Amino acid sequence: MATNNKHAHPWSPLQAPKELAQKLNLDPKTLSLASSDFGHIENKTPLAVFEPSSESDIIELIKYSNSLPNPFTIAPRGQGHSTHGQGLTNDGVVLNMNRLGDFRNGSEIVVCDEYVDVGAEQLWIDVLRATLKHGLTPLSWTDYMYLSVGGTLSNAGINGTTFRFGPQISNVLQLEVITGKGDLLTCSPDNNSELFYAVLGGLGQFGIITRARIALGPAPTRVKWLRLLYTDFSEFTKDQENLISFHEKNETRGADHVAGYLLGNLPPPRDVSFYPEQDVPRINSLISQHGIVYSIELVKFYDNNSQSHIEEELANLIKGLKFIPTFAFEKDVSYEEFQNRLRADIEFLRANGLLDVPHPWLDLFVPKSRISDFKEGVLKDIILKQNIPVASLIFYPMNHNKWDNRMSAVTPDEDVFYALGFFRGSFTNEEMEASEAQNEQILQFCKDNGIQAKVYLASFKTQEEWVEHYGSKWELIKDRKDEFDPKRILSPGQKIFN
């Protein structure tokens, strides 16, 4: 098994063959931009940034690295949206995937009747806009639309549609992948299937996705978008679990998107932008009274043909729910406006310089059987008591049977599990350290209490932690690495094999 020899003379970009050297950017400003990510927690300066104009450039780079006695690492980068340096390298080359789009002559997004073929560097917002022109849409989404297709497919891609259609990786029909050996392969469930399943949720370890074929369905035009508030945790979780079971019972009149949020005495309050201005004081008063308020986001898609039924369907859907009747809020927006709903919040943060701060985020999958223990031990005893700022706290369930276990992604082994996201920005080093310490405390609480939670978008520092994370899948992950990236050059920032 090949490993990098730490004591060998380090490679220098100046040694690269001429045709590769021309595409290796050594400009200090470019290197500085590639040395950090959205998290602003870790910094690693690469030796160079590679600007490919085609897949064959990437193949040449990989083959060249493999040919060296001490290969350099290659970190593919799309939007750089990782939070703990997962897309960085300090002894290798950052591969700027965005350059590919500049050279594809408009062939980046090709919409067909049942699928869209898309360059991995493309943003989901552009995929949405291209498919909507044909009255079509991908079925499974991520909340933030300004992420690259290759980036979310390397993780999983989840949001309030996952309970119904599975994560984004469950909606891929075919991929084009360049392996860590420099082979460009087309793969699908029937063709090079081991590589196909390895790469989906594979954290960039086995190959670089260059194109993806994503399943499409008919696009709705309008959205009924509700937020229902609760003060009772068990009613909140029961109602969410009930809502995600409709489609399991083959009832077509279920919700199209179900998500949950926690509103706490944690500055700043989550998503006040959704609620009518005149209602914000009474929502804040409810939060002050209870310390924490729970909000279900319930969404129904419709179009002109189903307009007459939508109110009735919505009424039936919320009939048995136990939210506080005077705290139900509704919006009616276009489908595109709903999918791109985070844009306004992000623009606000950007305009106020709040995007370029450290983001000590934590995303967890928590098994349903333990969520009340988790609520007591984490939400009540850690989050609320410590009062460290959390910009947003999401908490919603998914169905395990919508995930494909052959893929590299890992989830708790229960029929229903919850996605929990702590999204924060830190304005001082002390704040960042306190948030990171709190994240560790949460993970330790789960460990000490036998809660089989899994970290989503994980950023472990040692291989032992990765072995524990993958559990029974670890041998498979190791075999896939040996097969597709034997010299361990891809995505070193994940620290799985490096």
- Residues near 304 by beta carbon (within 8 Å), at least 6 away in sequence: 221
At 379, is the secondary structure helix, strand, or coil? helix
What are the pLDDT tens digits along the chain (498 aa)? 444 455 556 899 999 999 999 999 999 999 999 999 999 999 999 999 999 999 999 999 999 999 999 999 999 999 999 999 999 999 899 999 999 877 776 678 999 999 999 999 999 999 999 999 999 999 999 999 999 999 999 999 999 999 999 999 999 999 999 999 999 999 999 999 999 999 999 999 999 999 999 999 999 999 999 999 999 999 999 999 999 998 766 566 799 999 999 987 655 444 557 888 899 899 989 999 998 899 999 999 999 877 888 999 999 999 999 999 999 999 999 999 999 999 888 888 888 777 889 999 999 999 999 999 999 999 989 988 887 877 788 999 999 999 999 999 999 999 999 999 998 889 899 999 999 999 999 999 999 999 999 999 999 999 999 999 999 999 999 999 999 999 999 999 999 998
User: Do 79 and 206 fall within a single domain?
Assistant: no
Whole domain around residue 249: which residue ranges?
A: 222-456
Amino acid at 171: N
The pairing of strands 207-218 and 222-230 is: unpaired
CA neighbor of 148 nearest in space, from 58, 55, 77 = 77
- What is the count of structural domains for the chain? 3
Q: How far apart are CA 457 and CA 170, in angstroms?
A: 17
User: Do 76 and 181 fall within a single domain?
Assistant: no
Domain annotation covers residue 364: yes
User: Do 192 and 294 fall within a single domain?
Assistant: no
121: domain CATH number?
A: 3.30.465.10
Q: How far apart are CA 138 and CA 136, in angstroms?
A: 7
421-471: pLDDT as tens digits? 998 889 899 999 999 999 999 999 999 999 999 999 999 999 999 999 999
For residue 305, what is the DSSP state?
A: G
Q: How far apart are CA 194 and CA 477, in angstroms?
A: 11
Domain annotation covers residue 465: no
Q: How far apart are CA 167 and CA 457, in angstroms?
A: 13
Q: How far apart are CA 149 and CA 313, in angstroms?
A: 33
Tokens of 304: 């002109």
Give φ, ψ of 93 to 5 degrees.
-120, 130
341: domain CATH number?
A: 3.40.462.10
Domain annotation covers residue 204: yes
Domain annotation covers residue 140: yes
Single residue among 195, 218, 241 that ends a domain in this structure: 218
Q: How far apart are CA 477 and CA 489, in angstroms?
A: 15
User: Do 351 and 450 fall within a single domain?
Assistant: yes
User: Do 36 and 84 fall within a single domain?
Assistant: yes
Domain annotation covers residue 269: yes
User: Do 211 and 230 fall within a single domain?
Assistant: no
Domain annotation covers residue 473: no
User: Do 109 and 92 fall within a single domain?
Assistant: no
User: Do 319 and 261 fall within a single domain?
Assistant: yes
CA neighbor of 383 nearest in space, from 424, 354, 355 = 424
pLDDT at 265: 64
pLDDT at 272: 56
278-291: pLDDT as tens digits? 998 999 899 999 98
328 near 226, Cβ under 8 Å?
Answer: yes
- Residues near 450 by beta carbon (within 8 Å), at least 6 away in sequence: none
Amino acid at 399: N
pLDDT at 8: 58
User: Do 254 and 205 fall within a single domain?
Assistant: no
Single residue among 218, 244, 261 that ends a domain in this structure: 218
The pairing of strands 48-50 and 93-96 is: parallel
40: domain CATH number?
A: 3.30.43.10
Domain annotation covers residue 112: yes
pLDDT at 252: 63
Domain annotation covers residue 463: no
Encode 184-209: b = buried (16+ Cβ within 10 Å), e = exposed: bbebeeeebeebbbbbbbbbbbbbbb
Supply the pTM of this predicted model. Answer: 0.95
User: Do 18 and 80 fall within a single domain?
Assistant: yes
User: Do 116 and 78 fall within a single domain?
Assistant: no
pLDDT at 346: 84
150 near 209, Cβ under 8 Å?
Answer: yes
